[in-house]
Amino acid sequence: MEIPQVPWSLGLVSKRWRDIALSLSWLWSSFGIHTSNWRYNLIGRKLPDESLSAIERVEEQLRRSGQTPLEVTIEGDFSRIPGALDTLRDACGRWETLSVRKTSQYLDHIRGRTPLLRRIYVASGNIGGTEPGPVAFEFSSTAPGLYDRATRRPMDPLMSFGNVDWAHLTRYDGPILWGSYPDLLRQATCLVECSLFSARETPHFPLPAHIFSLPSLRRLRVSSTHCLTILAAPGLQEFVVDGKRSPDEVHVIDFLTQSSCTLLRLSLFNFPATQALFLAVPSLQELTIEFNNGATMISLLENILPVEEDSDEPHFLPSLTALSIGDVARRSLSPAVKAISARFGTRGRYRAMEFFGMFVDISMNHSGTQFPLFPEDTKHLDAMQRDGVKLYFVKGKAKYDRMRMMDPYSMRRYAEYHNAELMTNESSAATSGIWDCA
């Protein structure tokens, strides 16, 4: 079982730090029960104070937390330490945040006993006979303050949650259950952030003709564009379209048109970036495109870059200030780099342009010297550097000869995980061109 290390470790530093830790009840309010790690935490170190049993440790931490609302993460097979979980369950009236991973059998034991619960997260996996989705949603009837609900587990799209209260919900991250989807849109008028995925692309029955408006919705992510046909979001600012499930461009454009929103950020994953889509979002400031076949998009990407004032060529996104593009299949952005760099004529128009999402092949010789990544494109990258374009890359090591980069954030996480160095063309460590950073 893993218990968060910080409060227990502070007591081992000195008596003063122990006194400080004991005086802060909120420091003891986080519980992480991972039964697959019985006496070790996730990074392999022994837990402090091994003289305490699992039950004694939970009891002591509950005592030190006072009446502070609790944050609880549970993962694994609970038959191994039932006593410790029973002890923690006795305090479920103080639970404010609950995260259940790889199992859902524990939810039945606390249903109806968590009045302070405000956030619940149920991840994929099910050990035992309980279906986690319906149980997680039934918490709303006994937890009136529940506003953040996430269920990252695909469920039968024919299933319905029945009489679930969505009125207080401000964040929803979970499946589209077509039977309850209209109820969600009808009641969740306070929804601010929503992420919808579906095990089935289309509903098994016609959706109502009525358009449901969510005026508070600011961030939306969808994997099935069919769910957009009865939705309008006039206040939408950030929109992510994941094209893994055969998306329909007409659904997306109709949704943006009927929403009449001032969209600021748009992310497309394996979704066609077409002229019609660009024309539907003239207010767009930040655009992220990740695709599998860059050749089909080069001409469209050229059209969103600056053009000469006297040119008759179309220019679809006049407000665009940040552009990120990537190719998840090709191992070179050579065509896109050449096309875009040729059109990048207005210095300083973009505050950030980032190229990411490709397989990065790091070539190393035996002495550890790193060769330029794309020698044939160095002149184009150098030209883009002079125009103020920011490029992200990772300084690799010999054993990491291939790295897949999804976006700048993931690159930072990747570099941190592998103890590698994240660099940009603005880094002082880049001493010879953009890619030559030996």
241 or 144, higher pLDDT: 241
- The whole-number pLDDT of residue 438 equals 26
314-342 as b/e: b if 16+ CB within 10 A: eebbeebebbbbbbbebebbeebbebbbe
Identity (one letter) of the amino acid at 417? Y
- The whole-number pLDDT of residue 26 equals 86
Read off the pLDDT of residues 195-232 as tens digits, 9 standing for 90 and up: 887 766 666 667 788 899 999 999 999 888 888 989 99
Which helix (H) or strand (E) segment holds residue 242: the answer is strand 238-242
User: Which domains does the chain carry?
Assistant: 1-153 (3.80.10), 295-312+325-438 (no CATH)
- Round to whole Å and give the CA distance between 41 and 38: 8
- Round to whole Å and give the CA distance between 415 and 242: 25
- The whole-number pLDDT of residue 158 equals 35
To 5 degrees, how large is the angle CA 343–CA 347–CA 350? 85
Q: How many CB atoms lie within 10 A of CB 217?
A: 27
Q: In this structure, are residues 225 and 203 in contact, taking their beta carbons and an 8 Å threshold? A: no
Token pair 């007409």: residue: 250
- The pTM assigned to this predicted structure is 0.61
Read off the pLDDT of residues 304-313 as tens digits, 9 standing for 90 and up: 555 445 555 5
Q: pLDDT confidence of 233, banded at 50, 70, 90?
A: very high
Q: pLDDT confidence of 285, banded at 50, 70, 90?
A: confident
55 or 136, higher pLDDT: 55
Task: Give the residue from 305, 302, 313, 265 showing the smallest Cα distance to 286.
Answer: 265
- Token readout for 294 is 């860059």
227 or 383, higher pLDDT: 227
Backbone angles phi, psi at 96, to 5 degrees: -110, -35
Q: In this structure, are residues 317 and 300 in contact, taking their beta carbons and an 8 Å threshold? A: no
Q: In this structure, are residues 325 and 336 in contact, taking their beta carbons and an 8 Å threshold? A: yes
135-163 average pLDDT score: 55
Read off the pLDDT of residues 152-180 as tens digits, 9 standing for 90 and up: 554 433 344 545 667 777 888 877 777 77
Per-residue pLDDT at 194 exceeds 60: yes
Alpha carbon distances (Å) from 330 to 251, 294, 343: 29, 8, 22
